[in-house]
Amino acid sequence: MEIDKKAGYEQVNGINMYYEVYGEGEIPLVLIHGGGSTIQSTFGRFIPQLTGKVIAVELQAHGRTSDRNQPESFAQDAQDVTSLLNQLKITKANFLGFSNGGTTTLNIAAHYPEVVNKIIVISANYQREGLIEGFYNGFGDATIDHMPAALKTSFLEVNPDQNAMQTMFEKDKQRMLDFVDLSDDDLRGIKSAALLMVADRDVIRPEHVVKMSRLIADSQLVILPGLHGAMIGENLNPDVSDKTIGITVHLVEVFLNRQSIFG
């Protein structure tokens, strides 16, 4: 798609929430970034290959969106995204979430089904046990010095406030330390069609995503080769080719436009 965009802010549940709109179409695709990220660091190489209407958001304390005096949570993020859509007068949308954004997408599908058409969940877990063994080793002692340089650069490009980046880091870390599981019944209750994608060398266990595909009745599962974020060209994977990203875009758009990616 053309990279022309419209950008704006909405006051949502006590935060000033930033979003971008690309393209045209009846049912928009809402993009929800990963932890520690911005729209551009997660989706900067993905958005230009998409067609139709796209709305990309930045969540609490991330990038250009302000913070609130309370912890981050996936449940609150889900409420913020759906409230934003309500204020934009969008009654039905498709949702694509990556990593933490995928967990938020599952929360939206489970708790706000009225606004959901279809969901795409990329490299995300619904329970703490979905992360690879050893993920939390030393996690509680992590400092901002452990934050990848590419994510720092992307944050400071859109928000030069070092204190804001520190706050985002601490709140993201705490959200993972206090990870609040969805239940198996929450996933069984998801009635929207779902495309679940994960990489074979992801930080999310592929077996966990297979389990998710068994719980969500109308779901399709794709496991692609690569690392966390590679399939969408997230900026921690700078060597990924545009053709690799294009494969993911193709699968997503076939899923959105047809009943099955195999049809």
- The percentage of the chain sitting over the pLDDT mark of 90, rounded to a whole number, equals 96
Judge whether 23 lies within some domain: yes
Residue 120 lies in a domain: yes
Helices 162-177 & 149-158, crossing angle to 10 degrees?
A: 130
Question: How many helices and strands, by DSSP H and E, does the chain display?
Answer: 8, 8
CA distance 13 to 79: 8
Two structure tokens written together for 11: 């006051």
On the question of pLDDT at 262 being above 80, the answer is: no
pLDDT score of 260 = 74
Give the pair of three-digit tokens for residue 254: 């076939």
Sign of the alpha-carbon dihedral angle for 200, 223, 125, 96: positive
pLDDT tens across 92-146, in order? Answer: 999 999 999 999 999 999 999 999 999 999 999 999 999 999 999 999 999 999 9
Count CA atoms within 13 Å of residue 147 on its CB side.
Answer: 23
**Cβ–Cβ under 8 Å, residues 13 and 80:** yes
Tally the domains of the chain: 1
Does 192 map to a domain?
A: yes
Q: What is the pLDDT of residue 258?
A: 85
Taking residues 14-30, report their average pLDDT: 97
Residue 1 lies in a domain: no
Tally the C-alpha atoms within 13 A of residue 237's C-alpha that lie toward its C-beta: 21
pLDDT at site 23: 95
Strand order in the sheet with 193-201: 6-12, 15-22, 54-57, 29-32, 93-98, 116-122, 193-201, 219-227
Domain that holds residue 148: 6-257
Residue 54 forms part of a structural domain: yes
pLDDT score of 29: 98
Residue 263 inside a domain? The answer is: no
**Mean pLDDT computed over every residue of the chain:** 96
Share of the chain above pLDDT 70, in %: 98
pTM of the shown model: 0.97
| pLDDT at 2 > cutoff 90 | no
Residue 97 lies in a domain: yes
Backbone angles phi, psi at 35, to 5 degrees: -65, 145
Task: Give me the CATH number covering residue 20.
Answer: 3.40.50.1820
Which helix or strand (DSSP H or E) is residue 151 part of?
Answer: helix 149-158
Q: In whole angstroms, what is the distance from residue 50 CA to residue 141 CA? A: 39
Nearest to 87 by CA among 6, 13, 27, 7: 13
Query: Is 155 contained in some domain?
Result: yes
Q: Alpha-carbon distance 133 to 3, whole Å? A: 39
Q: Would you state the structure tokens that stand for residue 186, as one six-digit string?
A: 């929450």
